[in-house]
Amino acid sequence: MFVLFLFSLLLSTLLIFLNSFLGKKSQMDREKLSPFECGFDPKSSARLPFSLRFYLIALIFLIFDVEITLILPIPILMTQMNMTTMMFLSSFFLMILIIGLFHEWSQGALEWDK
């Protein structure tokens, strides 16, 4: 068993080094660094700046979307658990969500046209 392990380790290491030596390509290849535009040189830069505001709003949307998936099973769980405990837990969870939303709003993260 140990011999097979050493053989597989040696073989995989040998293949990795063989691939790195045979697969060396030029890092400064002009064709790979330029964007493809139907075989023509691009008229302008294809690398446009990315809006950080858009990224923040998308991240906030993703967080609230995941939290909604955590809220959806609450009505099903209410039939299986103690009603007061479930109401306390769901109220606490929703209060954290609302506080987070007001914090993002007060910090100006939801203002799109700044």
Q: pLDDT of 17-30, one tens digit each?
A: 998 888 766 566 66
Domain map (residue ranges) of the chain: 52-107
Distance CA 39, CA 27 (A): 21
Give the number of residues written for the chain: 114
Residues 33-50 have pLDDT tens digits of 666 656 666 666 666 677
pLDDT band at 51 (very low <50, low <70, confident <90, very high): confident
Distance CA 108, CA 53 (A): 10
Distance CA 32, CA 53 (A): 30
Residues 68-85 have pLDDT tens digits of 888 888 888 878 888 888
Which 3 state secondary structure label does DSSP give 11?
helix
Given this model, what pLDDT does residue 89 score? 84
Q: 0.75 cut: is pTM over it?
A: no
